Structure 1
Amino acid sequence: MAEEQSGWSYISDVVHQDTPDNRDKAYSKMAPVYDLKMSDVGSVGNQNLIKVGYEFVNNSESSLMLDIAAGTGWTAEHFREAGYVGQMDAIEMNAAMLDIAIAKGLYRKTQCQEVSDQSPLPVADETYDIVTATGAFLDNHLPQGCIPYILKALKLGGLFLFNCRKTEYNEVYHNELMRMLEKMTSEKRMILVKKEETDLFQMNCNEPGKPTKAIVYVFRKL
C-alpha cells in the first residue's frame, strides 16, 4: 500500500510548482483532501485573518464580499462562523477546488478563472464592500500587480482584507508586494487600517522547522 501523503507534502507541491499548469494539477490532486490536510497541519490563517479584520467589516444582509483564490471555501466558512450575514461571491482558478466550495453552498456566484495583473477581475467596478484573499499572495499564485484591479472592484470605502506569508521563501515576493501597497497608498487610492503578524500554521512547518507566520493587512479604498 502506498504511503499516505502528508499535509506538508501537499502544501509543498502546490507552493513550489514552476508553471500555472503544474500548479493547477497539484491543486486538483489536493482538492479532495484539502480541508482534512490543512486541519492536520494546524492551518489557522483564515481564522486569524478574520480575528484581525472582522471589526472593520460591514456586516449587514446587503453587504457583498468577493473571496479571491477561494479554494474550497475555508475563508467563507470562517466568516459565517464569525457571524457574517452578507452575501459572498468567489473567484478560484482551480475547478476541482471550486467544485468543493460550490457544494458547500457558501456563495451567491462563483467564477473559475485565474486572477491576472494584465486584466480586470471578471466583475463590475465598485461592486463589493469587501474583497478578501487568504494564503494566496505568494509566488505562482496572485500576482502583486492584481491589486489595482482589486481596488476597482471595491466600492469607495470598501475593505481589502488579506494576508501574506512571512517566510524566507516568500521574502522577495513580499518585498515586491510591499512596494505595490506603498504605491497604492502614496497615490491615495487606499489607506492602511491595520497590520498584524499572525500564525499561518500552528504546527512546526517542514521548511523553517517552526510555526509559519503571515502578515494580515486591512486596507480601505479611498
Structure 2
Amino acid sequence: MAHEEVGWSYVNDVVYQNNPKDRNEAYSRMAPVYDVQMKNVGSVGNRGLVKVAFHLVKNDETSQMLDVAAGTGWTAEHFRDSGYVGQIDGIEMNAAMLDIARKRGLYRKTFCQEVVDDSPLPVADSTYDVAIAAGAFLENHLPQGCIPHILRALKPGGLLIFNCRITEKNSKYQMILRDLLALLVSENTIELVTEEKIDFYQSSCKEDGKPMKAFAFVYRKL
C-alpha cells in the first residue's frame, strides 16, 4: 500500500467520526503515528496558514499566542521555525496528542479540554495577542459557536487566525461559519484582515480525488 493510502486511512478515521467519544478514541489511536501519517498525505495546511499570517503577528518576547486544537504541536512548531519568539499556550481535547505536543517543548502551558460552543476556554479574558486554529474548523471538530469564546481570550487588536478546508462535505459547515463571521463583522466585533486560498493536502483526498485546498482567514478583534 502506498504511503498516501496508509496516511488517508488514518486521516479518514478521525475526520469521519460522528460523535466526540469516537473522535477522541480515533485521535488516541492515531497519536503515535500522527506526524508520520500527516506527512504521508502531504499535509501542508498548517505551514500554509503560518506563511499567510506570520508577518501580521506581533513578534516579540511579550507576545502571547493561544494554539487552539493544538494537536501534536505542528502549528506551534511552524511558528517557531518561522522565527516567532513570544509565548505559546496550547489547548487540545485529546490527551495522547497533547502529550506529544508537550514533549516538543514548544508551550509555556497546556490545557487538556475540548473546545465547545457552550463553555468558556480555561484562560482569562483579553490575555492573548494571537489565537490560531489550524485544520480544526470542520464538522465534528471545532463548532462554529466557539469563535466568541476564542475572541474573549484575545486582547483588543488581537488576531484570530484559522483555516477551513474546501470540500463538498465541509460546505454546509463553512456556510454557517461564514454567516457567524459576517454577523460578528456587522456588530463591529471583528474585522477581516485577509482571506486567501491555500494548499491543505497535496495528495489526492477521498471526496473528489484531488489535492485539497482550504481558505486561510485572519480577523482582528475590535
Q: Which category of TM-score, normalised to the shorter sequence, fits these structures?
A: over 0.9
Matches within 5 A, 1:1-222: 6-222=6-222
- Deviation of 1:66 (Å): 0.2
Give CA deviations for 1:134-156 in whole Å, capped at 9, x if unaligned. 00000110000001111100000
- Deviation of 1:207 (Å): 2.4
- Deviation of 1:202 (Å): 1.1
**Identical aligned residues as a percent:** 62
Unaligned runs of 5+ in 2: none
- Deviation of 1:206 (Å): 2.8
Q: Secondary structure of the equivalent of 1:31? A: helix
User: 2:25 & 2:149 partners in 1: Cα distance?
Assistant: 26
User: 1:63 & 1:48 partners in 2: Cα distance?
Assistant: 21
Q: Is the 8 A contact 2:167 2:207 kept in 1?
A: no
Aligned amino acid, residue 145 of structure 2 = G
Q: Secondary structure of the equivalent of 1:219? A: strand
Aligned amino acid, residue 97 of structure 2 = M
Give CA deviations for 1:17-38 in whole Å, capped at 9, x if unaligned. 0110000000000000000000
Unaligned runs of 5+ in 1: none
User: 1:207 & 1:147 partners in 2: Cα distance?
Assistant: 27
- Deviation of 1:103 (Å): 0.6
User: Structure 1 stretch 167-176 or stretch 199-208: which is displaced more?
Assistant: 199-208
User: How many residues of Structure 1 are paired with residues of Structure 2 in the alignment?
Assistant: 219
Q: Secondary structure of the equivalent of 1:6? A: helix
Aligned amino acid, residue 131 of structure 2 = V
Give CA deviations for 1:189-220 in whole Å, capped at 9, x if unaligned. 01000000111011121321011010000000
- Deviation of 1:119 (Å): 1.4
Q: Secondary structure of the equivalent of 1:136? A: coil
Q: Secondary structure of the equivalent of 2:135? A: strand
User: 2:60 & 2:31 partners in 1: Cα distance?
Assistant: 31
Q: Secondary structure of the equivalent of 1:137? A: coil
Aligned amino acid, residue 128 of structure 1 = Y
User: 1:94 & 1:75 partners in 2: Cα distance?
Assistant: 16
Aligned amino acid, residue 12 of structure 1 = N
